[in-house]
């Protein structure tokens, strides 16, 4: 995926759709404090393992905040993920994201919850729910890539490259991806992966 970023402008955020900047004042142990934070949605993220390819299915996409911190990083490597912003179960949202971003249909009962954790604890404190699912080519229904104006590229990472990938600092990736790889390798026998 080649990303060409042009005409970058930064302006103050006023009417927001997904995040809401706030200023919080409070007293902690007798001391007045102020904190700037962002209210945001919780999310789901899914580690997908392709049985036939013996590979993880990851998504690559352009992330403005990463680019603003390091303009050599024009995309990130991530798990399939999405916001918890509709009145559906976490598993149903995970199922939709697998379809939209990656192009595979996974049955709800085949989506295994790993754990949950908090992200961006100094800014938003949103909770991410981490899942795992196995996929194969019989489940493929389209090429993926996201919906609306999303520009998501799917890629396969062979499992033998997974541990090295975790520590490859040249690749922008999320802590959830790194943790899920760790979980996978720790539980590989229980998962019946060969």
101 annotated as ligand-binding = yes
CA pair distance 165, 68, nearest whole angstrom: 23
Is 81 annotated as contributing to ligand binding?
yes
Neighbours of 135 (CB within 10 A): 22
Residue 150 marked in a binding site: yes
Sign of the alpha-carbon dihedral angle for 48, 77, 15, 24: positive
Tell me which DSSP letter residue 101 carries: I
> DSSP per residue over 123-150, as a string?
TT--EEEEEEEEE-GGGB-S----STT-
Name the residue with tokens 């904190």. Answer: 35
Reported as type and span, the H/E element at residue 186 is helix 175-186
169 is an annotated ligand-binding site residue: no
Q: Which residues are annotated as a binding site for Mg(2+)?
A: 81, 97, 101, 150
Q: Which residues are annotated as a binding site?
A: 81, 97, 101, 150
């Amino acid at each position: 995926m080649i990303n060409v970023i042009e005409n970058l402008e930064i302006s103050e955020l006023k009417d927001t759709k997904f995040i809401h900047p706030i200023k919080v004042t409070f007293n902690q142990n007798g001391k007045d404090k102020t904190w700037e934070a962002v209210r945001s949605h919780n999310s789901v993220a899914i580690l997908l393992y392709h049985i036939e390819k013996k590979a993880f299915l990851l998504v690559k996409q352009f992330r403005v905040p990463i680019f603003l911190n390091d303009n050599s990083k024009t995309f990130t490597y991530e798990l399939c993920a999405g916001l918890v912003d509709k009145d559906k179960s976490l598993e149903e949202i995970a199922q939709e994201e697998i379809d939209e971003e990656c192009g595979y249909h996974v049955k709800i009962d085949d989506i295994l919850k790993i754990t949950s954790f908090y992200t961006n604890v100094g800014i938003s404190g949103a909770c991410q729910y981490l899942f795992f699912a196995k996929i194969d080519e019989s489940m493929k229904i389209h090429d993926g890539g996201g919906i609306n104006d999303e520009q998501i590229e799917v890629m396969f990472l062979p499992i033998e490259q997974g541990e090295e990938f975790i520590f490859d600092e040249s690749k922008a990736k999320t802590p959830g991806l790194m943790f899920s790889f760790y979980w996978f390798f720790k539980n590989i026998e229980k998962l019946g992966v060969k």
